[in-house]
Amino acid sequence: MDPRLKCVLDNKLHSRLDRRRFLQGAAGLATMGTFASGQAGFAQATLGGDLNFLGWDGEHGGNVAKDFLAQNNIVMQASFQSAADEALTRFNTGGRGAMDLLTPNKDFQKAILEGGVELFQPLDLSRIPTAAGLFPAFKDAPWLVRDGATYGIPIIWGDEPCVFNPEKWEAMPAKYTDFADAKFKGELVLLDDPFGNIWLWAVSLGMPEPHRLTQAQLDEVLAAMLAVKPNVVAVGASHGDMADVLIRGDASIGVGGWAYQTLIARDKGVKLVVGSPEVDGTFYWSDAYAIAVDAPNLDNAYAFIDFMTSAETNAALAVELGSACTVEAAFDLMDPTVRDLYPFDNVRQPGGGILGTQVVVPSQNGEGDIVGAGAWVETWQTFKAS
């Protein structure tokens, strides 16, 4: 290589490396005073520095929390996951001590807490006064509590309906197993999610406890899913990828979708609607804010969660993500076109409502004849590979 070229490149490299941002910052480490009730968060003096986020895109509040972060000199270091359970892998491979805020979904958090796995730390609810405004179902919800301590503050919730092109279909069939009909050939796109798909087909086959299956039941589910496979065009890598397939017109029905996909499509001039098979229905999910064990920026994390759980912010985030809000007072602030997509009756009762009783993800360990999550994953792999 020419020496001058090398020199130029070297200089470029080193100047960039020197400027590398390792914003240690003057992180406020003093203990925070208690928040005043209501709109807290803005007035506190001890915030600032980094806030490390590993979770879903959007839930880092890139838009809704922009001013809050700026006013408190908090630098949001957001990195996004592409699968719900990636946080655990990152945590166990050197991320511990450098992760603050996580956004586990309901069943993932339940599995981690039940499994006694170290990942989330118990929350000091006195530092999140706005959490008092959550819908009854989300206070001390069963999937967030272990040994009396709370490990997560729900931020949005929703269901996984079918998302389809209304020009092609008036309604979805009554059952997921009906998708095996040849008229759906070349029309379906699924989500790459072993648990959601198997659960839906287990429900469709009338299995009483769809999250607790024996190997024989799993095989039955596999056979039913394989009957549908000839009609499936693709398995979307994520909800956004699935939306892309639908928007391009490469498929017309997304199974295990997200109402947000209709908003993505609307922005691109394509009309998609939601609607689940009438008999089988679908399942519900909820994402929560949680703080990782050994989080280095605890104050920032608490202040951020408290801000995000205020009614205005919660409503804004729910609308941005086309999902349902978790704060009771946010309900009235939401755009009805988004709000009406979700059955809020389910969250007005304590105990988690349907979100509390419905379990989608199997436990990690088997139990007697009941197989563990590994067998589900293998079944899904077999479905995709055969």
Partner 1 sequence: MLTGFARLFVILVVLFLYLPVFVTVIFSFSTSPRLSLPIEGLTLDWYSAALDNPQMAAALRNSLILAVGTALISGVIGCACSFGILARKSVRLRQGLLAFSLLPAVVPLLVTGIALAVMFHAIGLQQGLRNAMLGHVLVCLPFVILTMNARLQNFDFSVLEAARDLGASRLRAFTDITLPLIRPSLIGACLLAAALSLDEFVVTWFNIGNQQTVPVLVWGLMRRGVDPAINALATALFALLVTLVVASNLVGKRGPR
Partner 2 sequence: MAPQDQPLVASAASLLPAFLVYAVLLVIPLAALFVLGFWRADGFTLIPDLSLANYQRILTSGLYRDVLIRTIQVGMVTAAIVVPLAFALSYVMRFVLERRGALILQLVLLSLFSGYLVRIYAWRTILGKQGLLNTTLQYLGLIDEPLDFLIYSQLAVVITLCGLLLPLAVLPIYSAMLNVSDDFMEAARDLGAGFWQRLRTVLLPMVLPGVTTAFAFAFLLSAGDFVTPSLVGGMQSTMIGNIIADQFRGIGANWPLGAALSFVTIGAMMTACLAVVGLLRGVSRC
Comparing CB distances to partner 2, the nearer of 266 and 384 is 384
Comparing CB distances to partner 1, the nearer of 35 and 380 is 380
Location of structure tokens 């104050």: 299
Which listed range, 5-13, 147-155, 190-198, 272-280, lies at the site for partner 2 (CB under 8 A)?
A: 190-198
Helices (H) and strands (E) in the chain, counts: 13, 13
Comparing CB distances to partner 2, the nearer of 137 and 245 is 245
334 lies in the binding site for partner 2 (CB under 8 A): no
Could you tell me which of 22, 25, 44, 23 has the C-alpha nearest to residue 34? Answer: 44
Query: How big is the CA angle at 76 (ends 21 and 284), to the nearest 5 degrees?
Result: 140
Binding partner of residue 292 among partner 2, partner 1, none, CB under 5 to 8 Å per kind? none
Please give the backbone phi and psi of residue 197, each rounded to the nearest 5 degrees, phi first: -65, -50
Q: How far is the CB of 144 from partner 1 (least distance, A)?
A: 23
24 lies in the binding site for partner 2 (CB under 8 A): no
What is the maximum alpha-carbon separation in the chain?
A: 73
Please give the backbone phi and psi of residue 154, each rounded to the nearest 5 degrees, phi first: -60, 140
Tokens of 356: 């509390």
Q: Are strands 253-254 and 188-191 parallel, antiparallel or unpaired?
A: parallel
361 lies in the binding site for partner 2 (CB under 8 A): yes
Sign for the pseudo-dihedral over CA of 350, 59, 274, 200: negative
Pick the binder of partner 1 from 44, 239, 302, 379 (CB under 8 A): 239
Binding partner of residue 233 among partner 1, partner 2, none, CB under 5 to 8 Å per kind? partner 2
Which listed range, 27-35, 81-89, 151-159, 347-355, lies at the site for partner 1 (CB under 8 A)?
A: 81-89
Distance CA 276, CA 171 (A): 8
Please give the backbone phi and psi of residue 144, each rounded to the nearest 5 degrees, phi first: -110, -5
Write the binding mask 37 to 76 for partner 2: x where contact by CB under 8 A, - elsewhere: ----------------------------------------
78 lies in the binding site for partner 1 (CB under 8 A): yes
Sequence-ordered strand ranges (E) for the chain: 49-55, 74-80, 101-102, 145-146, 149-150, 153-159, 163-164, 188-191, 232-236, 253-254, 273-274, 284-291, 324-325
Tokens of 204: 């469709």
87 lies in the binding site for partner 2 (CB under 8 A): yes
50 lies in the binding site for partner 1 (CB under 8 A): yes
58 lies in the binding site for partner 1 (CB under 8 A): yes
| Alpha-carbon distances, residue 159 vs 88, 250, 251, 295 (angstroms) | 24, 24, 21, 30
Pick the binder of partner 2 from 249, 278, 335, 348 (CB under 8 A): 249
Which listed range, 16-24, 38-46, 227-235, 353-361, lies at the site for partner 1 (CB under 8 A)?
A: 16-24
Pick the binder of partner 2 from 54, 99, 111, 221 (CB under 8 A): 111
Q: Are strands 145-146 and 324-325 parallel, antiparallel or unpaired?
A: unpaired
Pick the binder of partner 1 from 144, 190, 203, 243 (CB under 8 A): 243
Residues in contact with partner 2 by the rule CB under 8 A: 83-89, 107-108, 111-112, 115-117, 186, 192, 194-195, 229, 232-235, 237, 241, 244, 248-250, 361, 364-365, 372-374, 376-378, 381-382, 384-386
Residues in contact with partner 1 by the rule CB under 8 A: 1-6, 8-10, 12-13, 16-17, 20-22, 50, 52-54, 56-58, 62, 77-82, 89-90, 93-95, 98-99, 237-241, 243-244, 247-249, 260-261, 264, 267-270, 321
